Chains A and B, each alone.
Chain A
Amino acid sequence: MLQGWIQIAFTLLIVVVISPVLGSYIADVFLARPTILDAVLHPLERVILRWGGMNTPGPMSGWQYARAVLASNFAMLIVVYLILMLQGVLPFNPTERGTPSWHLALHTAISFVTNTNQQHYAGETTFSYFSQFAALGFTMFTSAATGIAVAIAFIRGLTGRPLGNFYSDMVQAITRILLPLSVVGAVVLMAAGVPETLAGPVVFPSLEDPSLSQAIARGPVAHFEIIKVLGENGGGFFSTNSAHPFENPNGWTNLIQLVAILSIPSSLIMTYGFFANNLRQAWLVYTIPLTILIGLLVITATGEYQGNPEVNALLGGQAPNLEGKEVRFGWAQSALYAVFTTASMCGAVNSMHDSFLPSGGFAMLFNMFLQIVFGGQGTGTAYLFAYLILAVFVTGLMVGRTPEFLGRKIEKREVVLASLLILLVHPIAILIPAGITLAFSTQLAGISNPGFHGLSQVIYEYASAAANNGSGFEGLDSTTLWWNLSTSVSLLAGRYIPIVALLLLADSLSHKQPVPLTAGTLRTDTGLFVGVTAGVILILGALTFFPALALGPIAEAFQIAGGG
């Protein structure tokens, strides 16, 4: 048991050490300070910008920035949808995959453009290699870069700078962060055993029973795998994602993936610190998601370690729950991966979430409800600061001043945007469709696990869509028209409403005249304030979902504890 906790502790330590380093690099990139790759990347970026039709990227207002996000993402959606629908006639299709259903292709395209990568399909049996790397792999870069760009624009606004230019930010996020790290990461993954080939599957007689043949799916996996985790995308090349030995062959690749999953979202908090020139505040803010993350890790890992009581009774002793888990990862690495991936809105899995004990299901749902436990690529950091703004509003009133954050007054507009963003979108995009689905559960739900867990499955699917996570309680039969379309709505609402709100919020903050700091100013870089913010997050963010949690994982946990 101790060995497992040591793995967990070391992994967290590595993430915490990387955050300030990567955070500082990201800040340098977007503050246009010199960085190591300048000599190569300046010319490349100039070419990209010129071909994109923008020789000198000018600053954008919040609304312009938002429109650029929407327009570019829409263009990408069309490209992806067309490739998926035309894959039968496009090249690199060794398994001769045909046209998927229109709603599956639409859901997949939306899911990947929104950085969610919710998969209502099995990769190896549904899509051609070309669809995977040229359509899905493409959005893995652009959707992650969109998230980073929005986060940077938000940080700029928060610290009183002009928001910047979306296209220039998106290009730099790719050329300076995602692509270099992906190239290095892909090579390391290949060395560790992840395939990278255009050849089709190999089929051969199995060793024990030659009348049975084994088919081993392959493909250009390594390059796809690294951006899947680095960009918080999570869409696996294969159906079982990072549980598949080709996606994640050993403890080393698993460590790379875990660190990649959390590194950019956690670093962006430090990037904020460098922008605001207040690392102390950045570290204090950092402790909020870190503490929640550790708490959820303990809950999840303990449950998986203790295992399923009924199976334990059969085994005559305690054994970890290994249903849906790989031997090479065991309970600790599986719990780590499950918590990391739902915390950061990555959505990749190295074990099957549906088969976790309810404590794990609770933690995963909790992560997605809050979506700030480092949160999605870029958006997580922005949500965290939106919570901070709401906390500032309530606490600011309590000290008798018009609330201000970083010297900028929080007024009606900010409260409207922040509360819409972090309070209202989620209940609308999760609870309403879940309510409809459950109201017609026999026709619509496709629930595969009976009992309380069935409720968790439905809630999880929409939470995953709305939070742009992408993981699932995969037993759910989600390949239907209803699921594809209803989750598409949650995906779009959970992605673009907050992004537009964030950008408008940043815009309005950047135009405020800063108010000087006095003894009457509520300092936001104190432990007290950060503690209050954590309370606001837990009360406002989580209480909304308490009834659903109570009847889902909590009731299931009591059922297991009661021996039912």
Chain B
Amino acid sequence: MSVDLSSKPPFRVPRRVPQGPRDTRRHTPKTDFRGLYPRAIKAAFLKLDPRVAVKHPVMFVVWLGTIITFLVTINPNLFGTIQADISQQRILNGTITFVLFFTVVFANFAEAIAEGRGKAQADSLRTTRSDTMARKVMADGSIQEVSSTDLRRGDHVKVIAGDMIPADGEVIQGIASVDESAITGESAPVLKQPGTDIMSSVMAGTRILSDELLLRITHDPGQGFIDRMIALVEGAARTKTPNEIALTVLLAVLTQVFLIVIATLSPIANYIANVLANTSGATVANEFRAGVSVAVLISLLVALIPTTIGGLLSAIGIAGMDRVAQFNVIATSGRAVEACGDVNTLVLDKTGTITLGNRLADELIPVNGHTVEEMANVCLAASVFDETPEGRSIVALAEKLGATLDFDRTMGKGVEFSARTRMSGTDVAGQEYRKGAVDSIKGFVRSRGGTVPDTLDAAYEHVSRRGGTPLAVCKGSDVYGIIHLKDIIKPGLRERFDQLRRMGVKTVMLTGDNRITASVIAQEAGVDDFIAEATPEDKIDVIRREQAEGKLVAMTGDGTNDAPALAQANVGLAMNSGTQAAKEAANMVDLDSDPTKLIDLVTIGKQLLITRGALTTFSVANDIAKYFAIIPTIFAAAGIGSLNIMGLKSAESAIVSALIYNALIIPALIPLALKGVRFRPLTADQLLRRNIFIYGLGGMITPFIAIKVIDILLPLP
């Protein structure tokens, strides 16, 4: 069966812009939703294939029921002669068949729509995926042109300006700028070079703009991040998450329970019919028997089994992945997304996550009898080779204070910052200019035979207390003073941390700053805890410690030395700008390289679970009304007609109304399933109260009203 809706103008679904307070949000890749509905309708019918349908146990039961009701539409006496008007039976059975059929189609449609949206998302990712020719560097150094699909992990490839990067890889030689906008949306080209932690990984589908690079391929074809994400958002490779499996089990059990209830209702009703034959005569008994025909029992079964959630369950799961993709985050599994909702502790790097990446030099505090001008000169000398934003801000401040270089720049040699020495500087003409962590500088000065004045500690504390980062400066054995680097906390973070706290998520800030600075920033940002003077090892320690208490920990990271911690964390979000090692270790990669996104992911994870729970509650709560619609009317001859509290017109009308409601509620809830239940940062108790009220109580009341309305509208006697 095919439905051709292509003549209609293509419907455009407005793209959901991820929410969030960040004003720095970059754009997400464009997704083309044209033709989504026609394709979903077609898919909804294709999914009727029993081989596909059997994967959803609840809906498969409905599908089997449809076939049986279809058979009894053709021959109402298939399962024993019914003492009633055949044509009337046919009409009723036919109507039931029709409604049941559409119940299945609607459920398929829900899944198809979710898949379609995922596919559209995947297509936009896939546009970058076309085969390209790659220059493979052979073992003997020669270059051979091969298709990108023939590249294997470990192969070496050369790319030159204008090429498409053929596969995910790591730069092992060369410096070049790369345009990653096709994937990340970031329009500014990114510099790629080997060796350094950051910026050494390249993604398939991005384009090299200048120079050339030698790459080592890190993934076999179809195994890269994007490939995995494509598979996930399309729903193809989506393995069920633990909670989803547990819920499926519960729904399957409920379905079995009602199968037993309905199967045994047949002999029970037959016994009652015999009772009625004795007490009220054969006519009433026959009427009663006809009222509980096979088609009616199947209708009751379908009304009672949790079709609403059963029909929407996979759509909810796919939509959850889709939402993550819209956020420009690549998740390696649905499990990781669900784990986000469970996170108890967020481990956040201060720099880049809580504060804006660049601290600015704000003030120079000279000690040891030096003047500000003298100190400015030393600061300038120590920072002249420092290309970091901090370094440049120190140069700027020093120059503003009138500092000049008293040596020829070309004669100097930059000393790079390292995590071990925790200082950087310049060696020139036998003089060692250094700036860095106060302890390191103290050690350096002492090692050069100098002494450290008490005023240094006073200045250090002064800066720390104001939440600044103190850097000490020295020239050889002579300490010159403290540079006050000022941190700027990202706007709106405090409120988000408050929300997280209400949701029961603890935030831990990690910083290389000293305790006092860290505590001031921690307080200003509103985080719950902080680890000062943290080394990369501290990161994994804090994660292990929290996990030992049974907590789930999420963290972000980008460097190679973050990799163990990313792997250890339950949710590891790697920055796309980070190293290949970090991305490998993490279970999510943020294409925007925005660590604050971790907070949004918590919300998405929770939303996914809430949507499932809410619709399950709604679905099960609906049963009460369906029972009260169908049982009293079909068993009216047994004298329980006064339980028909809805005052439905007749058994036929009650059954069909309940089934129509049952069918229509599925498409009616598709938007909710796709969008997710709106999440509010409330405590668990508040959330439960709210959701029980809406979906539990609402689930009880809605069908009473809806079935009554349908009953009134139905042109049945």
Residues of A bordering B, CB below 8 Å: 390, 393-403, 407, 410-412, 414-416, 419-420, 423-424, 427-428, 431-432, 434-436, 438-439, 441, 450-452, 454-455, 513-516, 518-523, 526, 528-529, 532, 535, 539-540, 543-548, 550-551, 554-555, 558-559, 562, 564
Contacts and interface: CB of A to CB of B under 8 A. Distances in A.
Contact of B687 (A400, A432, A435, A529): A400
B606 A401 contact: yes
Given A394-B617, A397-B612, A523 B253 contact: no
Interface string B316-342: 000000000000000000000010011
A521 B683 CA distance: 8
B503 A519 contact: yes
Interface in B229-287: 242-243, 245-247, 249-250, 253-254, 256-258, 260-261, 263-272, 274-275, 278-279
B688 A431 contact: no
Interface in B341-358: 341-342, 344
B268 A438 contact: yes
Given A398-B692, A419-B249, A564-B279, A555 B635 contact: yes
B468 interface: no
Given A398-B614, A400-B605, A520-B683, A543 B623 contact: yes
Given A546-B627, A550-B635, A519 B684 contact: yes
B342 A427 contact: no
B504 interface: yes
A403 to B, nearest CB: 8
B69 to A, nearest CB: 19
Nearest to B605: A400
Contacts of A399: 606, 610, 613, 684, 687-688, 691
Given A398-B687, A539-B621, A435 B501 contact: no
B269 to A, nearest CB: 7
Given A427-B261, A428-B260, A398 B344 contact: no
Contact of A402 (B260, B304, B342, B635): B342
A427 B260 contact: yes
Contacts of A397: 243, 247, 609-610, 612-614, 616
A551 B272 CA distance: 7
A519 B254 contact: no
B398 interface: no
B549 interface: yes
A390 B643 CA distance: 30
Contacts of A396: 609, 613
Nearest to B603: A400
In the A-B complex, list the 3 residue pairs whose CB atoms are closest, starting with the nearest.
A520-B504, A397-B613, A400-B606
Contacts, number: 219
Contacts of B261: 427, 431, 544-545, 547
Contact of B268 (A523, A539, A551): A551
B638 interface: yes
B401 to A, nearest CB: 49
A558 to B, nearest CB: 4
Contacts of B502: 519
A11 B245 CA distance: 46
Nearest to A526: B685
A435 B263 contact: yes
A548 B260 CA distance: 12
Contact of B696 (A434, A514, A519, A535): A535
Given A420-B253, A540-B254, 20 more contacts: A393-B246, A395-B692, A397-B243, A399-B691, A400-B341, A401-B606, A402-B242, A402-B342, A403-B243, A415-B249, A419-B249, A427-B257, A435-B264, A438-B271, A439-B270, A450-B275, A452-B272, A539-B620, A543-B623, A555-B272
Contacts of B275: 450-452, 454-455
B692 A547 contact: no
Interface string B622-633: 011001000110
A406 to B, nearest CB: 12
Interface string B589-612: 000000000000000011111101
A528 B688 contact: yes
A410 to B, nearest CB: 7
B639 interface: yes
B645 interface: no
Contacts of A519: 501-504, 683-684
B267 A398 contact: no
A514 B549 CA distance: 8
B90 interface: no
Given A400-B679, A434-B264, A555-B638, A412 B623 contact: no
The secondary structure that dominates the A interface is: helix
Nearest to B602: A400
Contacts of A522: 684-685, 688
B381 to A, nearest CB: 51
A545 B627 CA distance: 11
18 contacts: A393-B250, A396-B613, A399-B687, A401-B684, A411-B242, A423-B254, A451-B279, A452-B275, A452-B638, A516-B550, A519-B684, A522-B685, A526-B685, A539-B620, A546-B631, A547-B261, A551-B269, A551-B635
Contacts of B247: 393, 397, 415
B506 interface: yes
B129 interface: no
Contacts of B279: 451, 564
A138 B691 CA distance: 51
A303 to B, nearest CB: 17
Range of interface residues on B (Cβ < 8 Å)? 35 or more
A518 B685 contact: no
Interface of B: 242-243, 245-247, 249-250, 253-254, 256-258, 260-261, 263-272, 274-275, 278-279, 304, 338, 341-342, 344, 501-506, 549-551, 605-610, 612-614, 616-617, 620-621, 623-624, 627, 631-632, 635, 638-640, 642-643, 679, 683-685, 687-689, 691-692, 695-696
A441 B268 CA distance: 10
Contact of A401 (B245, B249, B341): B341
A562 B639 contact: yes
Given A514-B550, A518-B344, A520-B503, A398 B695 contact: yes
A145 B608 CA distance: 45
A297 to B, nearest CB: 23
A557 B185 CA distance: 71
A515 B265 CA distance: 44
Contact of B253 (A394, A407, A419): A419
A401 B606 CA distance: 6
A419 B250 contact: yes
Given A394-B616, A454-B275, A555-B638, A539 B624 contact: yes
Nearest to B344: A518
B688 A558 contact: no
A429 to B, nearest CB: 10
B339 to A, nearest CB: 8
B632 A550 contact: yes
Nearest to A512: B550
Q: Please indicate which of the listed interface residues B506, B549, B616, B692 has the most CB atoms of chain A within 10 Å of its own CB.
A: B692
B341 A547 contact: no
B506 A518 contact: yes
A452 B275 CA distance: 7
Contacts of A411: 242-243, 246
A522 B684 CA distance: 5
Contacts of B267: 435-436, 438-439
B685 A523 contact: yes
A313 B383 CA distance: 108
A539 B700 CA distance: 11
B257 A398 contact: no
B272 to A, nearest CB: 5
B685 A528 contact: yes
Contact of A415 (B250, B265, B685): B250
Contacts of A454: 271, 275
Nearest to B259: A427
Contact of A431 (B264, B613, B631, B679): B264
